[in-house]
Every structure is written in C-alpha cells, then in structure tokens.
Amino acid sequence: MNRSALKLPCAVLLGMALGCAIGRPSWWGGGNGWLQGTTMQSRTGTGYGDRPAVSGGGGGGGEADGKSRQERMKKLVATLLDEGWSRNDNMAAVTMMTEAAGLSAEDLAPLMTFLLKRETEIKASAENGTFQGDMTLLTLQGYTNLLTLRWATLDPKAALVFAMGRPEFKDTDTYDELLPSIIYEMAKTDLPAAKAEVSQLKSMQRQEAGRAVVQILQQRDPQAAIAYARELEDSKAEAGVIMHLAAKDPMAAAAELTPEMEGHLEVVESIAGTLLHKDRAAFETWAGSLSDPAQQAEARCAALKQDAALDPAKTAVEAAAWVAKELATPEQARQLSAAIVRKWLETEGQPATVAAWTEGLPEGPGRDAAVKETASAWLEKDTLAASAWLRSLAPSEAKDNIVRQLVINICADTPADAFEWARTIGTPSLRGDSLREAVQSWARQDPAAAGQALEKLPARDRDRLLDIVEAAKEKAAEQK
C-alpha cells in the first residue's frame, strides 16, 4: 500500500466530515449489527478495550432504529460488492461515508472485519492470477482506511486494534498517516491510554502520534502540552505549543523559552510582536532580560521591523548601526535589511536614497539582501538609472543575482545589452543561464550578430552556445 490509499478525492473527505461533524442523527441507536460472529481482542484482552462502544442517541430507538441501521449496513456491503463502483470513486465515497455516519461502533466492528476479509480475498486472487473485476486492492484499502478513521471517532481503541491487526500494516506509509489520527481521537476521551500507545511506538511513528496527543493537550492545558512535548524530546512540538500560548499570554510563553533551543527564535518573534503592539515598555523590559544572544537579537529585529513601518528612514540609520555591531545572525540581518528596504520604498522613498544607504551597510548577508531588494524595485521603475547603479557595485554574488534578473527583463527587447550584462556575471550557474537566454533571444532576431558576439566569450562559454546560433541560422535560411 502507498499513500494514495489514504489520499482520496475531496468528495470523500466531505462525506466523512458530514458523518463526523454534524452529530449523531436521531436514528442512531442501540442494538446489534446484522453481521455477526466476530470478536476482536484489544491489547489488554478485554474486547474492544476499556471504553464501551458508542450506542444510544436521540429518537425512539428500538426496532425501527435497528431496521434502519440494518438497511444501511446492507447498502454499504452491497456497494462494496458492486464491481462497477470503482469506475465512479467519488460517488461511491460519498455514498459510503454518508451511510457510515449512521452506524454505531457496534455496527462498524463486523463491517470492518468484512472489509479486511475482502482485502485478503482480492490480494490472494491477484497473486494466483484468478482476480476478475474492476475493484482494485488499493481502492478497497483506501475506503477501509477512511472507515477506520470514522470508527476511531466512535471507539478509537477498537479502531486501533483493527488497524494494528491488518496484514503488513506496520510496513506501509498509510500506517504513518492513519495511526496519529486514531491516537488523536483516543486522546480526546482517554489521555492516559493515548500516551500509553505512543510509548509503545518507535521513531517517526512515535513522534507523529505524540504530536497528536500534544495537540489535544494544547487545547486544554498548554503547560501540560509543553511538559509532554519535552517528555517526548520533540522540540518542534514544544515550540509549536509555546507559539500557540504566546498569542494568548505572551509572558507565560516567555517563561517557557529555552536558550539555544530549536524553533524558539520564532516564538521570540511572536512574543515580541504581541508586546510591541500592546506595551513598548513591557517589551523593552522583557527583551533586556533575555539571556540568549540570538533571542535578544530576534527581539530587537522585531522592534526595528515595526519601527520601519512608522519611520523607515530613521529606522534604517538605527538598523545600520545595530547590524554593524554584529549582534544579529546572518539570517536576522538578511531579513531585517530586506524588510526596511521594502517599507522605505513603499512609503515613496527614492530608490537612489535607499541605494546609498545599502552601500553604507557592512559587507555580508544584510547588505546583499538590501541591495537585491533595492535593485529589484528600482529596475521595475527605471531600468536605466538602476543599471547605472549596478555598474558601480563591486562584484559579488548578490550583484550577479540582480544582473540575472536584469537580463531576464531586457533580453526580449534588447538582447545585445542583455548579452553584455550576462558577460559580467561571475557566478557560474547564473552566468550560463543568462548567456543562454540572451543568445537565444538575439539569435532569433539577428543570428549573424549573435554569432559574432560569441567570439567575445571564453571557449568554455562559446562552445555551449554555438548550437543555438547555428540552429537559428539554419531556420533563417529555410525561411528565405
């Protein structure tokens, strides 16, 4: 089985949502399903587990409800036995999930056993060459997975026992996707049981199922969710819960920050954003109390980005002085410089003024990002002026990236100029792509001139482009 057995069309999920989200209809009731004789044992040997199957519900119950469920069971089984249904998977999925919405956990148990038996039969017939019909094993397994998820909303323990008992289930991608969903449903009603199941899993399965439990805990008790994520040693889950907490109680989230912890810089940014909008003084007190230099820098970056929205020119001066002290990480310097340039240009800042500021920044990722943002915006407004500025810049990969964009912009109209710009690029991959595009455009317009221009290039560049020019010359000759 592969992932496609679980990823069915959106109509399937719509049908499932109808069954899971609107509540139990009045015709849900007690009684036994009509497929009898199957008993499944949980890991503790107590039938479907400690939690009883869901039954009862509104309505009159009794014989009428029993007949209604029996009819639905019959319709589901008839759908599964209809070899033509796989030709219209969407319609079959909607029909199946709509009918399944009216079944209790007691009804689903024998139905799921029937599906498992049907899977085994199809697999055996396919292996011995006797298989006939349109319904594939993969398709049937996909519907079995969806019904398993539906069952998990009613009796997650029984659904888990069923899923774990399927042949070769643990060796499939579907196992990685289906198991966390079942554990998630279990955690809603029995957290200790869900945690116990997670503890028995290994590596990636344990991580994904554990995050399902963390998600439930996060909704009820963020502190408990953080503690459990730490117990799992899952820094990503831990950071996610603290991020969630930061939106509601930034100071409580701040108390959970750990120096040098993966993912916590994003949390710092979130806390900073909340405090900056509410109380600048509180932000400054908190930012000054941070012991991790990277977290301190992240908080300051957040403040400078907000200040740039109000007064980008003034903030640009402050940011340049701060970046010069090398307090920011390369990524922080890159993001801050780019954000200031965008805000400055959005507020009618003159590209030439912004460009002059970028040249005053210390060399590094921050300056490269600022130059790129400035040049990209300037080229859109005034290609000639921006080009003149580009010529004044010292060679660098940042400049090469800008020139690459310039070549793309002008090669259709002025391929000769694009070619000359491409020649200035030093980064090999950018140079090769730019030269090729410029020569292709030029050769379509004037293959002879393009061919002559190739003589200016080193042999390693020229040899890769000769075929383009020759092909253009042949085409031009044919058209004459």
pLDDT in tens, the chain (480 residues): 334 333 433 333 333 333 433 232 221 223 332 233 333 333 333 333 333 333 333 334 455 555 566 676 666 666 665 544 445 556 666 666 677 777 788 888 888 888 788 778 777 887 777 766 555 667 777 778 888 888 999 999 999 988 887 766 666 666 777 889 999 999 999 999 999 999 998 777 899 999 999 999 999 999 999 999 999 999 999 999 999 999 889 999 999 999 988 789 999 999 999 999 999 999 999 999 999 999 999 999 999 999 998 999 999 999 999 988 888 888 999 999 999 999 999 987 789 999 999 988 988 899 999 999 999 999 888 888 999 999 999 888 889 999 999 999 899 999 999 999 999 999 999 999 999 999 999 999 999 999 999 999 999 888 889 999 888 888 878 876
User: For position 141, what pLDDT does the model report?
Assistant: 77
**Burial class of residue 76, CB neighbours in 10 A (0-12, 13-18, 19+):** buried
Q: What is the pLDDT of residue 80?
A: 61
pLDDT computed for residue 48 by the predictor: 31
Structural contact between residues 163 and 179, judged by C-beta atoms closer than 8 angstroms: yes
Q: How many CA atoms lie within 13 A of 399 on its CB side?
A: 21
pLDDT at 10: 35
Cα distance between the two ends of the chain: 59
Task: Yes or no: say if 337 and 331 are a contact pair by the CB < 8 Å rule.
Answer: no
CA pair distance 357, 373, nearest whole angstrom: 12
Counting DSSP H helices and E strands in the chain, the numbers are 25, 0
Q: Which of 408, 409, 356 is nearest to 382 (CA)?
A: 409
Please state, in angstroms and rounded to a whole number, the distance separating the CA atoms of residues 372 and 378: 10
Element (H, E) at 221: none
Burial class (CB in 10 A: 0-12, 13-18, 19+), 288: exposed
CB 434 within 8 A of CB 456: no
Q: What is the DSSP letter of 254?
A: H
